[in-house]
Amino acid sequence: MKRIKIGTRGSKLALQQSAWVRKRIAEKHPGLHIEVVRIKTAGDKITDVPLAQVGGKGLFVKEIEEALLRGEIDLAVHSMKDVPSDLPSGLHLGAITEREDPRDVLISRGGQRLEQLPSRARIGTSSLRRKAQLLRINPRWEIIPLRGNLDTRIRRLETEDLDAVIVAAAGVRRMGLEERVTEFLPLDAMLPAVGQGALGIECREEGGINELIAFLSHRESTMAVKGERACLRRLEGGCQVPIAAYGEVGGGRLHLRGLVASLDGSQLFRAEAHGDDPEAVGEQLAEELLAQGAAEVLREIYRCLS
């Protein structure tokens, strides 16, 4: 192959991530002409409605996947937390990159850490997963739906009179905005989204692109994310539902923890699972959560969101 096209969303963060992938490929395969193609997704077009109310899965990837299937691009760079657990026929994840910091971060207007925020603080977030965990800590906090690109959400800290916003650490690091961070939230306070911090390189199952990008795959990150996604798939969840999972790999074994919460945080189920087969560990984690009562909570959430 002498020329390839990389599909991506057009946000600053998405372009930064695609530029990183492009650079790595160019270094590995000098002489290859690499073009970055911006594609607007449904999630980018609808910015004035909370994600949970938009409905459907793949809000930030569907149009890019369609371009892949039509052969208009050769690979796509996604934030793994945006990728549904089931991919269209003919496509697969050719590589999952080494994971950035998976945590969420707090950016507060007055420099207060999470436990120092006022009892009725206004906190902005785009995620029901974050909302549920925040309300579990303090049900009196007011959670303000926050959409838009990363830099837009941080700016709205001032423009919407918020006390704090919560965003993903990986995006903040990739954009060089670490100086804005007040606190990196510990995992026991804010468990991350499935796949958070990792990039997924999606491509067609057939074709030479798979060999070309294989070097980008990181073994431990792939194992962890596969386990997290297996849990999500069994729970039939998406990125708009209060489901969290995070895996760590040591000695070839996966330690996976996860949670399911009600929308108001009043019910929250936690579980852990271990093993060397990520798919089996993810399914085991999901079964543990369902056995605790998560199934009814998820049914109620889907009723509310439908």
- Host domain of residue 175: 104-184
Q: Is residue 254 part of a domain?
A: yes
The number of folded domains in the chain is 3
Q: Is residue 124 part of a domain?
A: yes
pLDDT in tens, 70-110: 999 999 999 999 999 999 999 999 999 999 999 999 999 98
Q: Answer yes or no: do 5 and 93 share one domain.
A: yes
Q: Write out residues in the chain with pLDDT < 50, as ranges.
A: none
Specify whether 241 is located in the same domain as 109. no
CATH number of 271's domain: 3.30.160.40
Instruction: With both helix axes pointing from N to C terminus, report the angle between 219-235 and 278-289 in degrees, rounded to the nearest 10.
Output: 40
Q: Calculate the average pLDDT of the chain.
A: 93
Q: In this structure, is residue 191 part of a structural domain?
A: no
**Given this model, what pLDDT does residue 41 score?**
87
Q: Is residue 209 included in any domain, yes or no?
A: yes
pLDDT tens figures, 9-45: 999 999 999 999 999 999 999 999 999 999 998 777 7
pLDDT for 50 equals 58
Check whether residue 207 and residue 245 sit in a common domain.
no
Residue 189 in domain: no
Same domain, residue pair 275 and 299: yes
C-beta neighbour count of 262 within 10 angstroms: 20
Same domain, 240 and 208: no
Which two structure tokens, joined as six digits, stand for 25?
């490929």
- Does residue 63 sit in the same domain as residue 146? no
CATH code of residue 162: 3.40.190.10
Check whether residue 172 and residue 113 sit in a common domain: yes
Provide the pLDDT for residue 56: 55
Predicted pLDDT of residue 59: 79
Task: Give the pLDDT score at 301.
Answer: 87
Is 190 domain-assigned?
A: no
From the candidates 44, 82, 101, 104, give the one annotated as an active-site residue: 82
Q: Are 95 and 108 in the same domain?
A: no
The answer to whether residues 83 and 204 belong to one domain is yes
pLDDT at position 303, please? 82
Is 177 part of any domain?
Answer: yes
- Say if residues 176 and 82 touch (Cβ distance below 8 Å): no
Instruction: Clarify whether residues 110 and 80 are in a common domain.
Output: no
Is 27 a domain residue? yes
Residues 95 and 123 in one domain: no
CA–CA separation, 45 vs 90, rounded Å? Answer: 26
The answer on 205 and 95 residing in a single domain is yes
Instruction: Say which residue the tokens 């905005």 belong to.
Output: 177
101 is an active site residue: no
